[in-house]
Structure formats: structure tokens, C-alpha cells
Amino acid sequence: MTRAFLGLGSNLGERLAYLRRAVDQIEDRIAVSSLYETDPIGGPDQDPFLNLVVELETQRSARELLGLCRELEADAERVREVRWGPRTLDVDVLWVDGETVDEPDLIVPHPRMTDRAFVMIPLGELAPDLVVDWTDPGMGEVRNIGLL
């Protein structure tokens, strides 16, 4: 079994419901971070996001986890119209222990996770060993709003 982490976010429609449903569908999850509300970074003007991180103990590869991410997004009827635009559900593979991937559609560890407090703060709840030297780049407020 391998430790892995997925980042989930939603800022369109019933944000909390989309996140709850997605988390419930991740069968190999072992922990879920607190829920955080954050202002969007980049992209068009849009509503705030709800974000969290899920820890898994899994036999899936990073590529298989990407497939799971796409399934969860499809189930939430995510539409990809504008890069970094509003979305019902965004799911990213953040980290897979012992695995590095650098392909056009998948980079693991996630290439921008250390730039995003909304990823690193909830990740730090679950895996403090992965955020030891991280410094918040100050790209927006991250508000802990409790458990999912």
C-alpha cells in the first residue's frame, strides 16, 4: 500500500455537497483534512472555493489516481470552459509516496502545490512531514471552517 494525497476544491453550485459526495466515493481514503474557504487565485472573477485534502492508502498508481480524479469530476458534471474558471469540482493528484511523474497531462508531485496555501495548509494537517520547509507565499487568505 502507498500513501497518496488528493486535493479537492469547489466554487460552483452546492460546493459542500460536491465535496462530500466526492470524498464518500474515494474508497481507499484514510483521512480528510479540515475544510477551508479561500478566495480564487488567477482566472476570471468568481466565487470563493471550499478546499480540502484527502489522504489515501492505496495500490493505485499516480496515473490510476488521475483516472479517479476525472471520474469524480465527471460525476459532479464539471465543465472545462475557462482555464482556472469556476467549477463544481476540481480534484488533483498532489503526492504519491515514491512516485514521480512528469507527463503532459500529469505531474506528481503537483507542480504548483507549494504556491498554494489552500493545498499546503490542509496537507500539513494530514502529513506534516511533507510541509516541513514550506513558507506561505501570501497569495490569499485561507479560512478554516471546520470539518466536512
Catalytic position from the list 21, 63, 92, 116? 92
Q: Which CATH number applies to 2-146?
A: 3.30.70.560
Contacts of 99 (CB under 8 A, 6+ apart): 2, 61, 62, 108
> Catalytic: 80?
no
> Catalytic: 83?
no
Catalytic position from the list 63, 80, 87, 116? 87
Neighbours of 56 (CB within 10 A): 21
Alpha helix stretches (DSSP H) within the chain: 15-25, 62-75, 117-126
Residue 137 has pLDDT above 90, yes or no: no
Domain spans, the chain: 2-146
- Each residue of 10-61: pLDDT tens digit? 999 999 999 999 999 999 999 999 999 998 877 667 789 999 999 999 999 9
> Residue 94 class from Cβ within 10 Å (0-12 exposed, 13-18 middle, 19+ buried)?
buried
Residue 9's DSSP bridge partners are: 51, 90
Catalytic position from the list 39, 75, 78, 136? 78
- Each residue of 108-125: pLDDT tens digit? 999 999 999 999 999 999
> Catalytic: 90?
yes
Residue 53's DSSP bridge partners are: 7
The pLDDT of residue 135: 87
Q: Would strands 35-38 and 142-146 be described as parallel, antiparallel, or unpaired? A: antiparallel
Predicted structure pTM score: 0.93
> Catalytic: 87?
yes
Q: SS3 of 148, please?
A: coil
